Structure 1
Amino acid sequence: MILAPTVLIAVNVPPAIAFVTEIRHQQLIDSPGYKAEFGHWDVVELPEGLQINAIHAALLPTGKVLIIAGSGNDRAQFDAGTFKSLLYDPATGQARLVLTPADLFCGGHAFLPDGNLLVAGGTQRYEVLEGDVTLAAGAMRVKNESPAAARDFPEGTEFVSPDGRTYRATSAFTVPAASKVIERDGSATVTASESEVWVESVVEGAPGVTADPSKYVITGLAGEDAQNLYGLAEAMNLDKQDYQGIADSYEFDPVTEEYVQVGDMVHKRWYPSLTPLSDGTVLSVSGLDGLGQILDGQNETYDPVTQVWTERPDLRRYFPSYPALFQTAQPDQLFYSGSTTGYGPAQQGREPGLWNLADNTFAPVPGLRDPDLVETSGSVWAGPVQDQRMLVVGGGGVGESPLSTARTDVIDLTAEQPAYTPGPDLPEPTRYPNVVTLPTDEILIAGGSRDYRGKGQSHIFEASLYTPSSNTIRPVAESSVGRDYHSAGILLPNGQVIVMGGDALFSDVLNTRDADFEHRLEIFTPPYMFRGERPEITDAPAAVALGETMTVATPDAERIDRARLIRPSAATHVTDLEQRSVALDVEKRPDGTLGLAVPAEATLAPPGFYMLFLVDDQGTPSVARWVQVT
């Protein structure tokens, strides 16, 4: 009678101790003192029908978060034509799905001066690994020798070789008209135009393979059309087939909450970077094209007034996919931090530097430590953009490398000879860190993993705050959800940070079981929100021009220490080219209002919507007001 309970107690002691330890831990992290020093994380679970794969996320000037999945790295969704976007309102917890017109998975995005979000590129075709390829395929160059008109061809257009092999186009395509030049003697010179399209055999296996360059007849053409329009291909094989991009472009309107189609890009792109420039236009760089090949420096710009893309041969420059390119304080100058994600050879286009758009020159900058471990690193302005200091955080080896680094490095672009200098080490080597600028100028560093896509259960739960003024890192509360590839972190108008996504390869230490995409959201409440009464903005203008001083009403004017305009984030693949904090000169007026002076330079504050924060002398920020900088 006595032994049974004794055995039972012996068996249950370790779980009981663990249970008590967990309760004490929870009591600690929920205590006011702990929160005031380290902050707090909360997990949010959306209803099952509203859970999507958070590949891209952007904070709209309505305060809602647009989460874009497209096909969500799910081939079954792609094959079914199921593309998703979600609008989530952190203030109310409400969410709804939004009609998504194309597979925007792995496209690029940038905010426009009117607050619309430009989304361009995405997925035309998923990769097929070598050994899984069943249909021989390759690039078909389609020629048009007629100057009369361009010709449009649908998906499924067939090309037939001299020996009878038939291949089908996997997407629609257009062949421009040939160019015609009238010479002085009245003769005409016609130069054939050319377009490329991916084609695949109509039969499986070896019968579709050929290594012979051939001229192909386009099925359905007759007469002069059959003579003027034809295909040329070098080879068709069963080699690995990479992802392929699309040229589709849309503006997401935050008021109507709909995608509006605009002009296509000149080039199809998958994994491109879209960088907003100081004149309100957007530069599109890099990515895989419609054949699955990384673009060799063919860059283009978008004009939001005409909604047209223009190829920029004057800006031809190669970068690996998703390069981190930022508008600097200097007109026509971008900074390439060296951070990238995805595709491109290890020895090409990896060196950080300053890109002069006026003459297309590139000046490398030295000093970056672990330069071969910059892929999947984070890059962010360190402090107000006026300081022109950039922070690079963590990173790993190119491709499916297990290597990662704890390195953070900082560069001052105002120096006579800019060079990276060491920052503090992260708690451990980290790929895929989410780096988020806070109103206090601190930077939250959270999530990531040591190994490629969280292999070996290498997720990192430690979070840190980096302080630019002291170049130091301190710990904050640990998160409870693993984040790696396909995750994003975004500052919210109330001063909290929302983190979402995570696309690990495996769910176990031995890498034997596939992992599910992480659908839980997490909200980080920084320490500054647990330190007493927050300052308040009671009135602020809806818009302000560059160089103007705006009047802002607050009952806390005397204790306001600083004011910041923070551009909302648009993040994907550890890349957020929008994020920047703009310091405003603060004048405390006799009537109790504040005069906040906006910089005159569009290079510092590109036109668009910003969150206005006031920060008091205790380092506590207000809830933001939205202000459009014109």
Structure 2
Amino acid sequence: MKEMPRGLRRRRFFMGVLAVTVILGANTPPAWSYVSDYMRDKLINSNGYKSRFGHWDVIELPPDMRVNAIHAALLPSGRILLIAGSGNDTRQFAAGTFRTLVHDPSTGRTKLVPTPTDLFCAGHAFLPDGKLLVAGGTLRYEVLEPQVTKAAGLMVVKNGAPGGAPRVFPKGTEFVSPAGRKYVATAEFTVQPATKVKIRGGAKVTASTTSTWVESTEEGPGGVTAVRGNYKITGLAGLDRENIYGLNEKMTLDRQDFQGRRESYEFNPVTERYERVGDMAEQRWHPTLTGLSDGRIIAVSGLDGAGRVVPGISEVYDPRTKKWVVRKDLEQYFPTYPAIFQTAKPGVLFYSGSNSGYGPADQGRDPGFWDLRTNKLTLVPGLRDADMLETSGSAWVGPVQDQKMIVVGGGGVGDSPKSTARIDVVDLDEATPRFMPGPSLPQAARYPILVTLPDDTTLITNGSKGYRGRGASDNHNARIYHPDTNTLSYAADPTVGRDYHAAGLLLPDGRVITVGSNPLFTDKLDSQTAPFEQRLEVFTPAYLYQGGARPAINDGPLKLTWGATGAFTTSDPSQLVRARLLRPGASTHVTDVEQRSVAVEMTPTATGVTLTIPKEPTIVPPGPYLLFVTDKRGVPSVARWVQIG
């Protein structure tokens, strides 16, 4: 029998591997252990493979342009905003080194922009004009109990004098107890004047109240006290000395948690600069900012100035006044970074249960509808592994008009070994909504990245089985979720592992970029400290490897309002089957309440299509959107930016 030529044998082996991959691709990854690195690289870079599963490309920025990407947002300019702040690095925090990077994925150009304060673990949401509101951040890093050397606690500062301007007290302001103990403020704080209201027979004066964190001027137990009393502020004289004073809480040597900031900024995508706006009433670290249908933003949760979860206090930002207003009628307790979304119903939000973790295990963890008109939270049952919602991911799936959402992965509260591969789906339009089982991930995953694609599918990638990647447990896999069939299909495996502090965004060209990751260790024995992952990775979905020309949007209006129609010229309109408006993502801690896909009514014309925007601002909250058209092959166009509202 004549021997087969070596080249032909290799080709047939390669085609055999490819065939097996194609057959198994919907359910299991290729068996890399059976092929050489050479054959693996050849396989994943082949057109046949990429047209079925897509492809990943790693991007390494210049060393002086690398940041710890804690937050990521797609700006209306098409550039990526990566916010590090201090980047979960105590040395950078102590040095006051705060960083923000703007990266252009189309050209590869990057630049650092001035960062006014430590925006590490802030909240963010897009405003109607396309600016990104960024609020909160880190006032102080945690100090574990063995490292606490000075007693510390919260000092409530009161001002009983009405009238006059707010008083700003610097970091280091000294408070002296009746017994002579001395404590200093660890940050600047502002004291408002008292309020004075006329009543029959005179006037009623109510002292203003603020709080600041203080620590003892001496080390050791000498500063510990549980006795409450009025503290004098050093340097005040006359009536100020009597009217402005401190009232202490317990001063202890206990562990000190992260503390939040109250500053807010609008990031301008044109000037690429932060613009200071009104401060929040509450200090917040790990807050969620959710855009409402009228363009305002609601802020919830976060750790306050004492490292405690904000006790249910909500406040709303108005972009017209650039100020926050506390909503005392909207008190709801949530763990930090709760995933809260604007539903199709005016005044009704949905909390999926996903969160970043801080808060007790038995409070604020159940998903449900939050009616802002009544402040009632109506729970939605049926979610499997309900004790593993911490570090899970949530996203709308399919057009938001369908009101379907998935909850993916997650783990137990805190540094728990528990994690889940669960995907559950809920239809919020049902008479009595209930979570229903979906497919399972190939591995249990905390911190899964979910990105909505223009073809009505969702990319689910990365994450780790263990808490912050313990035991070298990063998941190097990806799947595509299909909401029409409630199934998963295989996608190419990412090269870079990503867990805590990771994010993913859809790009205007239909690709996906993933950033960040903050594992604790690099090895299975958890013995070697891991650096922050600063590489970027871009996923090109299979729909961009189908061959032939992509559909194109050549011209059309840049602004449209609700219910309006717009004429867009396109390539070969007879081949187009759908149009979608996708809101740009703004993600941190795998929480992205911004992204949503909106189905747009499309009518073909001789030169393109006429699109009709939905009438409901609850479906299309005001702001910038990526407009995609998709052809019969499932190939999307490059997006065109359109401003809605």
In structure 2, which of residues 369, 379, 386 is the aligned counterpart of residue 371 of structure 1? Answer: 386
1:538 matched to 2:554? The reply is yes
One-letter amino acid of the structure 2 residue matched with residue 567 of structure 1: R
1:553 aligns to what SS in structure 2? strand
User: Where do residues 449-488 of structure 1 align in structure 2 (5 Å cutoff)?
Assistant: 449-488=464-503
* Aligned equivalent of 1:176, options 170, 183, 192: 192
- Write the distance in 1 (CA, Å) between the matches of 2:72 and 2:33: 37
Compute the displacement of 1:203 (Å).
1.3
Match of 2:226 in 1: 211
Residue type of the partner of 1:559? Q
Q: Is 1:587 paired with 2:612?
A: no
Q: Distance in 1 between matches of 2:351 and 2:33?
A: 48
Give the letter aligned to residue 148 of structure 1.
G
> 1:20 & 1:469 partners in 2: Cα distance?
35
- Corresponding residue SS for 1:517: coil
Secondary structure of the 2:231 match is strand
Work out the CA distance in 2 between the residues paired with 1:32 and 1:569: 30
Distance between the aligned counterparts of 2:482 and 2:312, measured in 1? Answer: 36
Q: Which deviates the most, 155-164 or 348-357?
A: 155-164
Amino acid of the structure 2 residue aligned with 1:362: L
Contact 1:70 1:102 in 2 (8 A): yes
Q: Which residue of 2 aligns with 1:432?
A: 447
Other-structure match for 1:116: 131
- Quote the RMSD (CA, aligned, Å): 1.3
In the alignment, the residues of structure 2 paired with residue 67 and residue 181 of structure 1 have an alpha-carbon distance, to the nearest angstrom, of 47
Equivalences for residues 520-559 of structure 1 within 5 A = 520-533=535-548, 534-559=550-575
CA separation in 2, counterparts of 1:182 and 1:45? Answer: 65
User: Is residue 2:270 matched to residue 1:267?
Assistant: no
* 1:386-425 matched pairs, under 5 angstroms: 386-425=401-440
Given residue 242 of structure 1, which amino acid in structure 2 is its aligned partner? D
CA distance in 2, matches of 1:311, 1:294: 16
Deviates more, 1:192-201 or 1:403-412: 192-201
Give the Cα–Cα distance (whole angstroms) in 2 for the partners of residues 460 and 185 of structure 1.
71
Choose from 605, 615, 628 the match for 1:613. 628
Aligned to 1:560: 576
Partner Cα distance (1:280, 1:25) in 2: 49
Partner in structure 2 of residue 12 of structure 1: none
1:306, 1:234 → 2: CA distance? 35
Counterpart code for 1:356: D
The residue number in structure 2 matching 1:503 is 518
Within the alignment, does 1:65 sit opposite 2:108 as a pair?
no
Deviations 1:234-285 (A, max 9, x none): 3211100000011111111111111111111111110000000000000011
Paired residues of 1:139 and 1:196 also in contact (CA < 8 A): yes
3-state SS of 2:61 partner:
coil
Match of 1:284 among 296, 299, 302: 299
Per-residue displacement from partner, 1:352-382 (whole Å, max 9, x unpaired)?
A: 0001111111111110110000111110001
Paired residue total? 612
Matching residue of 2:112:
97
Gaps of 5+ in 2: 1-31
CA contact (8 A) 2:572 2:608 kept: no
Q: Secondary structure at the match of 2:145?
A: coil
Q: Partner letter of residue 373 of structure 2?
A: A
Matched, 1:220 2:206: no
Query: What letter corresponds to residue 458 of structure 2 in structure 1?
Result: I
**CA distance, structure 1, for counterparts of residue 82 and residue 282 of structure 2:** 25
2:165 maps to 1:160: no
Alpha-carbon deviation of 1:20?
7.6
The aligned residue for residue 137 of structure 1 is 152
CA deviations on 1:117-156 (whole Å, 9 max, x unpaired) are: 1100000000000110011100111122222334321111
Aligned residues of 1:244 and 1:291 also touching (Cα < 8 A): yes
Structure 1, gaps ≥5 residues long: 1-16
Q: Secondary structure at the match of 2:94?
A: helix
Q: Are 2:195 and 2:205, in contact at CA under 8 Å, matched by a contact in 1?
A: yes
Q: How does 1:226-245 map to 2 (within 5 A)?
A: 226-245=241-260
Q: Is the 8 A contact 2:481 2:489 kept in 1?
A: yes
Contact 1:271 1:342 in 2 (8 A): no
Q: Name the residue aligned to 1:315.
A: 330
Distance in 2 (alpha carbons) for counterparts of 1:18 and 1:32:
22
Q: Which amino acid aligns with 1:572?
A: T
Distance 1:312 1:185 in 2: 31
TM-fit CA distance, 1:179: 2.9
CA contact (8 A) 1:65 1:88 kept: yes
Deviations 1:378-402, CA, capped at 9 Å, x for gaps: 1000100000001111111111111
Distance 1:409 1:146 in 2: 56
Change (3 A) 1:227 1:507: same
**Identity, % of aligned positions:** 58
1:175-234 CA-to-partner distances (Å, cap 9, x unmatched) read 222233443234x44332221110001111122222222221111112222111211113
Q: Distance in 1 between matches of 2:56 and 2:327?
A: 45
Q: What secondary structure is seen at the aligned counterpart in 1 of 2:146?
A: coil
Task: Report if the CA contact (8 A) 2:153-2:214 is conserved.
Answer: yes
